[in-house]
Structure 1
Amino acid sequence: MGVGIRAAGEDDRELVVRLLDEAFQDDPVSGWVFPEREYRRTTHHRLMAAFTDIVLAEGRIDLTEDGTACALWLSMPAADGDGPDGGGDPGAPDEADEADDAVRLRESVDPANARVEEIARLMAESHPSDRAHEYLWMIGVAPVRQGEGLGSTLIQHVLDRCDREGLPAYLEASSERSTNLYARLGFTFADRTLDIPDGPRMWPMWREPVTGAGRS
């Protein structure tokens, strides 16, 4: 599938926010964070904007050339002892940092909505930290283009680099249906679901690099 992919920049911020807002309006996790449909319609974009800003500053956003799909990635260091040089990263976030980040996220997005902070805490607590890896935080495809393989193409774009560099990859699938897509790309279920209190279930998935991929 001939899909052009480029790195998004600050000029693409509003496009990325709009893509994520449209793609995740009916997502089970978004529905839990913002249970009232009309309120979600008018407020959900703030959460997507916060996520976009974090990844623009700290990671990479891949965008299809036609602006119909995007993928948000973060390079996650090992908490201790498994960086590329065999040492841990002293700058890796600790639990206090993650708790502060969750509070700041709620205050910036929807101050009275405790679920914004809760979902951030739950995802941070469940995130693997023993090995450096690429983290697929979110992937959004315009509703009218879903089912065309754009998401798979965007993900494979980074997985090819992971294979060349010997890096694993990680994600949390927000629906059981989407786990099938990720399984086709080499991800496997991480043995334990992330069960949101009185809410939906998420499926953490891990992918080991394919040794020798992309090498002559």
Structure 2
Amino acid sequence: MAPSASPDIQISPANTLENRALDRAEVELLSKSGEPHKLVACVLEEADLSRLMLEGWVFEACTVKQANFIGAKLSATLWSSCKGGQADFTGCDLSESKIEACDFNNSNFRGATLTGAQFSRCKLTGANLSETKTLNLTFDETRLADARLPGLSFRKARLNGLDFQMADLKKCDFRDAIFQDCSLRDANLAECRFEGADLRGADLGGIRLLNAKQFKGATISRDQAGQLLAELGLKVR
């Protein structure tokens, strides 16, 4: 289901384009109206959309593979069922945006502003979210395997259906977080904090207790305890 526009963003039928292949010149011309547009099933593959002002736009079932959004203003945008493998969002502003059921595998969000952004049912395998501004950023049922998320804060978050398998989570803050149907299998957890976290809903396979102190105060199940001790070569009977 496509997300609905925010009540303060009104997109008229005249500002809706469907099944179009668009390049930078066409998108830039549309943006100069100062009004948000809705693009449905449009193709912007490899388009250079860097530094354009596209606040409040809606992208529904669009193809933005390898598109260049570097430095673009994309706050309060809505994305639904888009395909954007290897898209480049470096340094862009995606604050207060909603991204649902989109495939942004191996995309680059380095240095982007993701304050208040919501990712739901997305594929972000291999994505780079390093150095992002992430206050109130949320993920739900999203694949983040092999992604780079160093230093992100998930403190007090309820994490549902997140796959962090083999992700770089160095220095992430999971204090008081609740994991439900998640995977931390083989993730890089160096210098992470888990005080008060409930890890019973997480797959901890492949994790090695190089620093057991980081799990002090966290809650795990008996089965998980046996699994972690087995990683240390200890036999649990």
TM-score, reference length from structure 2: 0.23
Which is strand-richer, 1 or 2? Answer: 1
TM-score, reference length from structure 1: 0.24
Q: Which has the higher contact order (CA 8 A, sep 6+)?
A: 1
Which is helix-richer, 1 or 2? Answer: 1
